[in-house]
């Protein structure tokens, strides 16, 4: 009986020792050492604002005509350039000529450069674009030019006097 008890105590001691050894090895392997001071770690993106690591990207602003009147129902597109550019991102102006494009979530942490452009589905205004990419939280103030001339811009051009049809037919029949 005592011999059995000693075997149980020895097995328990080995079990506890084995468990402690296993915990030590696992904790040593799972903790990563701090990077050396000469290696720079990557800073988080500027637009990282959520506690869970999510990000947001916002561009907002207004669209007016040359007279300062708000332009309603034009499309603002933010497009990436290159083979890895994702689909275009769009917003539309309201009756006050204002727009907001907002994208948030985990996929917005890394955005390619986005270039703004404006199109008018009704063809009232000329297309507008900018060669520089937009920044996060940038406000755009866009002024569009009219696509067609106003009636006051049209100048009358004197037309050449045409001969009556009878005179043209007579001149044609002469040798």
Residues of the chain with pLDDT under 70: 1-53, 84, 86-87, 107-111, 149-175
Report the distance separating Cα 133 and Cα 140, nearest Å.
Answer: 12
23 in any annotated domain: no
Please give the pLDDT value at position 153. 53
What are 72-107's pLDDT values in tens digits?
A: 999 999 988 877 676 678 999 999 999 999 988 876
Please give the pLDDT value at position 147. 87
171 in any annotated domain: no
Range of the domain at 81: 55-148
Report the distance separating Cα 98 and Cα 114, nearest Å.
Answer: 19
Neighbour tally for 118: CB within 10 Å: 21
Number of domains in the chain: 1
Contacts of 118 (CB under 8 A, 6+ apart): 63, 74, 75, 76, 77, 125, 127, 128, 129, 142, 144
Neighbour tally for 26: CB within 10 Å: 10
Record the pTM. 0.55
Please give the pLDDT value at position 37. 43
Domain CATH number, residue 102: 2.60.40.1120
144 in any annotated domain: yes
SS3 149: coil
175 in any annotated domain: no
């Amino acid at each position: 009986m005592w011999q059995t008890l000693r075997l149980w105590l020895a097995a328990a001691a080995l079990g506890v020792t084995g468990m402690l050894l296993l915990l030590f090895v696992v904790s040593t392997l799972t903790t990563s050492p701090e990077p050396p001071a000469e290696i720079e770690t990557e800073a988080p993106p500027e637009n990282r604002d959520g506690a869970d690591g999510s990000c947001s990207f916002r561009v907002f602003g207004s669209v007016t005509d040359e007279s300062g009147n708000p332009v309603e129902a034009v499309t603002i597109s933010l497009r990436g350039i290159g083979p890895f550019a994702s689909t275009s991102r769009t917003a539309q102006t309201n009756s006050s000529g204002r727009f907001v494009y907002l994208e948030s979530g985990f996929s917005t942490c890394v955005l390619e450069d986005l270039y703004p452009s404006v199109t008018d589905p009704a063809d009232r205004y000329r297309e507008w674009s900018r060669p520089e990419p937009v920044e996060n939280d940038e406000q755009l103030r866009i002024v569009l030019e009219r696509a067609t001339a106003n009636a006051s811009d049209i100048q009358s051009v004197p037309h050449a006097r045409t001969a009556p049809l009878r005179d043209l037919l007579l001149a044609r029949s002469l040798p």
